[in-house]
Amino acid sequence: MKLHREGYTIMTVAAIVLVLINLGIQFLLPDGYWIPRMVLAASVVIFFLVVQFFRVPSRVIHQNDKQIVAPCDGKVVVIEEVVETEYFKGPRRQVSIFMSPLNVHINWNPISGVIQYFKYHPGLYLVAWHPKSSTENERTTVVIRNRQGVEVLFRQIAGAAARRIRWYVKEGDKVEQSTEMGFIKFGSRVDLFLPLDAEIKVNLQDKTVGSVTVIAELK
């Protein structure tokens, strides 16, 4: 299993801490039986959960200029028409995807094109499904314009547990659909803001596969 570079430090620290805890238990309870074994079992489970969080999945992708693909793994929690106030300053179709701690947390570019706008916003750490998390939490805003001139905005949003957002793009970069653009550590959310005439291809509660699931088709 391939592991993401964003997890190397966390996995190393977790391994050291868990080893020290188990050595300490063995030292304090040399004649113990159940407690050392229970701590060891719990440590293995915890380390496995940390490692699986940073796994890099193998995906078969097909690029299509007419399609907008999921920027992350997760579950669709919002589909609605809203007024986007930061960049478009007008109505857009919003599709939001909640990422649980069990999901892969890599983020992918939903379309091919040029990064027209990028901004990092420090902020709060409300739970990712809170209505105000999209505008008040720590987040990034990215706008990609494709070859047809259509612009798609998406936001990486930190949650109550996710307090570290990574991005690998900047304004002026040319990006390809379904390529990696960033990473959010632990539970979080990604919002997409699409043209009003985009045909939404997902429903609420649908599970998405990042870089694969088609979220919408452009006219």
Residues designated catalytic: 188
Cα–Cα separations (whole angstroms), residue 107 to 104, 135, 156 = 9, 19, 8
**Strand segments (E) across 147-213:** 151-158, 165-167, 174-175, 180-184, 188-194, 199-200, 207-208
**Percent of the chain that is helix, strand, coil (3-state, to 5):** 20, 35, 40
Name the one residue in this structure whose structure tokens are 């998390």.
133
First-to-last alpha carbon distance for the chain, in angstroms, is 39
Round to whole Å and give the CA distance between 206 and 75. 6
Look-up of token digits 């020290």: 20
